[in-house]
Amino acid sequence: MFIRWKYVIAAAIAAPFIGLFVAWSGVFGIGASSGHWAITDWFLHWSMRNSTRTAALGTEVPPLDNPEMLPLGAGHYAQACAMCHGSPAQGRPAVVFGMLPVPPDLKDDIPTWTDAELFQIVQHGVRFTGMPAWPVQTRPDEVWAMVAFLRAMPSMDAERYRQLSGVHADNGGADDGRLTCASCHDENRLNGRSLIPSLAGQSEAYLRESLIAYAQGNRASGVMATAIHGMDATETGEFAAYFAQQPRRPAVPEEGNPRGADIAAGRVLAMTGRPEDRIPACLSCHEKPDGNPLYPSLVGQSVPYLSRQLHLFREGERGGTRFSHLMARAAHELTDADIENLSAYFASGMPQQ
């Protein structure tokens, strides 16, 4: 066939201008009400699946069989995801059916993704769809807890979901119920393996300043940033006062020392530090009755919580109050074994032997 190259080149030059003209004229509909053409819908989903699969390549999946991931994941799901995706206790709210795309009922979709792919979607969100990214990008441990929960969700009934998330089903089941601070932090819901910290009896100043640190982004946690979103200074103060006046929880040692920690070595390090590695004595700041109220009490926290926070300090990922840099310095040279030993020592209530 004879091609008139002149016309082809002219068309190639004109095409972008025609495109610009169409966009400028406003005839191209951006309304969500008419939906996508079937082919557009197919194409968008196809590209989303391909992109997620490629992005998830090489992601190392940590063990997800820790049952303590479920309350954390479920609590955050109730406060940040159920309003679009529904939950085992409640279908999706009517308003989301006007979104394009409509947030799917995840029960059917979750089994079609691998753990690494779910991590990718929840950590980074999905562009142009309304599916949000995790509020902070430096806490993969929180996102993995969500992945563990998502895996368990398709076979979960409403009762189990309410139990795990701690939502109060006190409104006749009209919706998912209220999620409060106690949904996660209630002492009766915590144990020696919890990923969620105990707040009871911690100093009011430390609790208040920690909440401000989350709100201002000085301490990174997508879960807590969501929980306190929109709270003003008065409310922050009230929550701090409420938890501070509760009796401090006694020590919660991990049963059977599953991580093989050396509690005696933890005690020595806590009492004397290790000057050659510039590690100070932990007890020069912590657990002193007349110490600075912004130095938190560690006894009463679980081993997994203490250990996670020490890793975050060491890696430079945890901020906090105006004194948090002191703690980051104290943790800088700790080895993994030090962290296990110290966590076990404080969680056991600082035994003398």
> How far apart are the C-alpha atoms of 144 and 116, rounded to whole Å?
9
Residue 295 in contact with ligand HEC, rule: CB under 6 A: yes
The least CB distance from residue 321 to ligand HEC, in Å, is 3
Residue 75 in contact with ligand HEC, rule: CB under 6 A: yes
The stretch among 27-35, 168-176, 250-258, 284-292 that binds ligand HEC (CB under 6 A) is: 284-292
How many chain residues interact with ligand HEC (CB under 6 A)? 66
The least CB distance from residue 289 to ligand HEC, in Å, is 15
Q: Among 267, 286, 340, 347, which residue interacts with ligand HEC (rule: CB under 6 A)? A: 286
The least CB distance from residue 287 to ligand HEC, in Å, is 10
Residue 350 in contact with ligand HEC, rule: CB under 6 A: no
CA distances from 217 to 204, 290, 321, 331 (A): 20, 29, 11, 21
Q: Among 56, 69, 118, 261, which residue interacts with ligand HEC (rule: CB under 6 A)? A: 118
Residue 162 in contact with ligand HEC, rule: CB under 6 A: no
The least CB distance from residue 29 to ligand HEC, in Å, is 19
Closest CB to ligand HEC: residue number? 320
Which tokens is 111 given? 């089994």
**Nearest to residue 299, comparing CAs of 244, 342, 242?**
342
The stretch among 22-30, 32-40, 153-161, 274-282 that binds ligand HEC (CB under 6 A) is: 274-282
- Cβ atoms of 123 and 140 within 8 Å: the answer is yes
CA dihedral 139, 143, 149, 154 (to 10 degrees): 170
Quote the crossing angle between the two packed helices 324-331 and 303-314, to the nearest 10°.
90
Q: Among 88, 177, 197, 300, which residue interacts with ligand HEC (rule: CB under 6 A)? A: 197
**DSSP assignment of 25-55:** HT-S---STT---HHHHHHHHHHHHHHHHHH
**Nearest to residue 259, comparing CAs of 345, 350, 144, 344?**
344
- φ and ψ at 175, to 5 degrees? -150, -160
Residue 279, classed as helix, strand or coil, is: strand
> How far apart are the C-alpha atoms of 70 and 298, rounded to whole Å?
24
> How far apart are the C-alpha atoms of 203 and 248, rounded to whole Å?
10
The stretch among 9-17, 57-65, 170-178, 179-187 that binds ligand HEC (CB under 6 A) is: 179-187
CB-nearer residue toward ligand HEC: 24 or 271: 271
Using CB under 6 A, list all residues that contact ligand HEC: 48, 72, 75-76, 79-81, 83-85, 99, 101, 103-104, 106, 109, 118, 121-122, 126, 129-132, 146, 150, 179, 181, 183-185, 195-197, 199, 207, 210-211, 219, 221, 223-224, 227-228, 239, 279-280, 282, 284-286, 294-296, 298, 306, 309-310, 320-321, 323-324, 326-327, 330, 342
